[in-house]
Chain A
Amino acid sequence: MTDATNNGAPKKALKTSLIAVDERTKRRNAAEARFRAYGVVAIVIAILALIGLVGSILNNGSSAFRQTFITMDVYLDPAKLDKDGSGNLEKIAKVSTFGYAPLIAKSFEKKFEDPNVGVEGLSAKKAAKMISKEGPAEMRRFVLANPEMIGETVSFKFLASGRIDGYFKGRVTMESAKLDKNVSTEQLMLADQLKAEGSLQTSFNMGFLTRADGSENRPEAAGLGVAILGSFYMMIVVLCLTLPIGVAASIYLEEFAPKNWITDIVEVNISNLAAVPSIVFGILGLSIFINFMGLPQSAPIVGGLVLTLMTLPTIIIATRASLKAVPPSIRDAALGVGASKMQAVFHHVLPLAAPGILTGTIIGLAQALGETAPLLLIGMVAFVREFPAAPPEGFFDPAAALPVQVYNWTQRADPAFVERASGAIIVLLVFLLAMNAIAIVLRRRFERRW
């Protein structure tokens, strides 16, 4: 212990007061404040990004839930619909939607008899273009269902065409209408008159949630019905497959697997699988499920299988974590009273881990619900107008999926689809929010601290 003593240089007389803060400390404190400010700025940027993201979607999409309707009294002219007056349904069915369009023009003519309604230079035929092309189809469906109504005047609440709807949502203006061949300023003026008169109104758009997709030039008729149903079918497939397989795999790996190289490979494999880009799973689905096994394209079953394989690692990781959280003393207690290992796991460990497993499963499902890329590759982008049948056959029918529908709509030319796409995102986010809320409630309710 000589080092300490042979260094006897007198200590510097550093008798500084604590209260007087020296220059250097001031600088250091300024650096401290700056660093702290960087942190705050970073958080503010992150929060602003979140607000911007959600705000932009809400701003663009909330109008999709409101739609402009035009109420018209239409005389179902027997001369057009039932020429021989026989009431024969097959003959009536021969009249296509084109045969119904003139009836709408007729009822506009009638409307124009009112002196307050009518615009110089706008014929009834042109005015009828303000009604969605879906309108005649709707009438035809009505007539085929109620052939006895032919000859009566029936009040229909038609969808207004996308441009008229856009006018009331601020998407279309008088200026833009001058350049647009799909809408004229006269039509917009008439729309204003109809609104004043009360036959044109904007109301909640249930059809957005229930209708099938609409074609390129009928954005006003496009709905999410098929997509919601398709996503729902896929979630059923995912749930029915991932939960049992995921839990079984986790139980094996956590409770039974011997510590050897095979188990190591399985574990490394699962953690890497969780990070494989989702589009690669799409390629897998395309080449194995569709090309090799011959399952149909665009079918929820294929989507479900692909999403199952994608979700499996998430669920296995969550399940193993909650199995691990059950203290070994529980297993020892069960084994101590003579239960077999299997009994200890199934009777004691699994029930205690169940809330955690369920939470993990819901979060995994939420992830799967929002996944888009792999579904593009297995043909879910196709334009599907038919609702899939009831399960189990429905699993094999073509269907859309919510996120893919969003992508689909963004690829179309008419700007009205942007509103639809954002509206669809809102629906998707509401589902996700609900699922996550359930997961949080479950976790709060059943969380156990050992």
Chain B
Amino acid sequence: MSAGLVILVVIAIATAGFFIGRSRSLSAVNGNIRQLHSLPGYYGQTVFLAAAVPALLVAFGWLLLQPILVESQITNMIAPSDIAEGSSRGLVMADVRRIATGLDVAIATGALTEDQLGALSADQSDVRALLGSVGVALASEVKESVLVASKTYREMTATLRSAMAIIVILLSLGGAVFSLSRIKPDFRARNVSETAVKALLILSSTVAILTTIGIIASLLFETAHFFRLYPAKDFLFSLTWNPQFTGGSDLGILPLLWGTLYVSFVALVFAVPIGLLVAIYLSEYATRKVRSIVKPAIEILAGIPTIVYGLFALITVGPLLRDYFAQPLGLGTSSSSVMTAGIVMGIMLIPFVSSLSDDVINAVPQAMRDGSYGLGATQSETVKQVILPAALPGIVGAVLLAASRAIGETMIVVMGAGAAAKLDLNPFEAMTTITVKIVSQLTGDTEFASPETLVAFALGLSLFVVTLGLNVLALYIVRKYREQYE
């Protein structure tokens, strides 16, 4: 019985329970609704919730835990000698899963019967060809131990699946019967069902917390793993980044941090003045008509995915900067550079800075402007000497948020900044950032447990800490600023 079917059955039981519960409550008072504590629908709801919620929770928990359980059992069945040169336990396990699926398919299509499967042995017959004939291609010949593991895997999965189906459906039925038995005219069905619904609401609002916990836990856990293989001191203070496949890598974060900060700096130098001036113009000068055209146009920029900016950097801005600035000035020949990534990221940040500053500038009370105009100040004097100083904390907050965005941005730098980790001042030189290296270390072919891969988690943790710090600071400043005028 597949998991989807089990869930459907549970929902069917719960739905049936709803109607039975509803009619049962009605028959308990001979159709005189006024004698019921709650509306009949609520009696139905209590049955529905009792039948569905615990059963589904168990089912999802089971689905998450079952693979972990089975995997740990099967892994022990594969001896280290069965793992081929250049392969890993993970790859063998992937084979096991694939063979198991193949065997299922073979039985489903009739190419194999259960009895034949029981007798199947890798030494005697060509399992690869057999599975190939049902459309499951394998990379290599199947070893006997792997085949046995696959068969066990298949059996365990099937047994656990059936067990789950039985337990979940029984739980659902049990819940339905229990809550049906509680239906009496003075049963407070609405209160019970509302309490249950409220519990679900609370459960949903914890998802955000769980996500944060998940992020922190996974980063900390793997980072600790990394620091056992590679000294933390070298990671934090080494000036070279030079991963080697064969081991003996230098994995210093400083060149990456430098690249990250340099690109972000260029982006902010570009985005902050433009974004701020756009916000000032739109909120202080523009006529309604201009605003109604320009504002949405700039918001479009905000809605464009970063991959588009990345491509723009790669195919347009990069070559343009190389051909018209870097090469004539003799500053470099690379189309991916700090400048390329910085300018494109700056474009991405313009709407971010301008819409945040717009909010902040609009929060400055009109009375301030009136006061200034009443004294004979021009608009620009009012903006520069009254509005901006008044809005300064909010603008600082906006810039910090933009900086945090810039530091965490990935696609633009992956496609625009380059991959060479160096400490250089020339902005037309290709440099690399923390996010670029997270991508390249985690999408590479190196073994997961090697420091070259695990360093990505340490980089991720650094990134998380820096951006979180900036955000908390920025949100605090902005909130303080708002309180001032409320």
Contacts and interface: CB of A to CB of B under 8 A. Distances in A.
A–B interface present (Cβ within 8 A): yes
A432 B354 CA distance: 22
Among B204, B209, B275, B457, the most chain A Cβ lie within 10 Å of the Cβ of B204
Interface in B274-306: 274-275, 277-278, 280-282, 285, 294, 297-298, 300-301, 303-306
A276 B208 contact: no
Given A29-B378, A410-B415, 18 more contacts: A35-B384, A47-B297, A50-B298, A52-B312, A248-B200, A252-B201, A257-B205, A277-B410, A280-B408, A283-B218, A284-B211, A284-B214, A284-B218, A294-B71, A312-B208, A376-B439, A377-B443, A407-B411
A268 B471 CA distance: 11
B201 A287 contact: no
Contacts of B300: 50
Contacts of A246: 204
A224 B49 CA distance: 43
Identify whether the interface residues of B are mostly helix, strand, loop, or mixed: helix
Contacts of A29: 378
A277 B311 contact: no
Most buried by A among B202, B215, B308: B308
Counting contact residues on chain A (CB < 8 A from B), the size range is 35 or more
A36 B378 CA distance: 11
Nearest to B211: A309
Contacts of B211: 273, 284, 309, 312
A292 B194 CA distance: 35
B327 interface: no
A421 B311 contact: yes
Nearest to B277: A42
Interface in B339-365: 347, 350-351, 354
Contacts of A266: 205-206, 208-209
Interface stretch (B106-114, B174-182, B459-467): B459-467
Given A50-B297, A276-B464, A279-B410, A36 B214 contact: no
Contacts of B201: 248-249, 251-252, 256
> Contact residue range for chain B?
35 or more
A40 B287 CA distance: 12
A122 interface: no
A49 interface: yes
Given A56-B316, A256-B198, A280-B408, A429 B190 contact: no
A327 interface: no
Most buried by B among A245, A277, A379, A392: A277
B450 interface: no
B305 A428 contact: yes
A28 B375 CA distance: 14
Contacts of A432: 303-305
A60 interface: yes
B198 A252 contact: yes
B442 A377 contact: yes
A283 B277 contact: no
B318 to A, nearest CB: 11
Contacts of B463: 277, 279-280
Main secondary structure of the interface of A (DSSP, over half): helix
B479 to A, nearest CB: 10
Nearest to B290: A43
Interface string A75-98: 000000000000000000000000
Nearest to A284: B215
B222 A42 contact: no
B236 interface: no
Among B68, B209, B218, B294, chain A packs the most CB atoms within 10 A around the CB of B218
A410 B194 CA distance: 53
Interface in B163-191: 190
A379 B90 CA distance: 15
Interface in A294-345: 294, 309, 312-313, 316, 340, 342
Contacts of B379: 32, 35-36
Interface string A29-72: 10110111011111101110110110011001000000000000
Interface string B440-468: 00110000100000001100100110011
A388 interface: no
Interface stretch (A1-9, A188-196, A364-372): A364-372
A389 interface: no
B394 interface: no
A252 B68 CA distance: 33
A340 B197 CA distance: 13
Interface in A269-292: 269-273, 275-284, 286-288, 291-292
A69 B405 CA distance: 45
B305 A276 contact: no
B215 A276 contact: yes
B218 A429 contact: no
A248 B205 contact: yes
A236 interface: no
B117 interface: no
A251 B212 CA distance: 20
A293 B214 CA distance: 13
B456 A283 contact: yes
Given A28-B381, A283-B457, A432-B303, A43 B64 contact: no
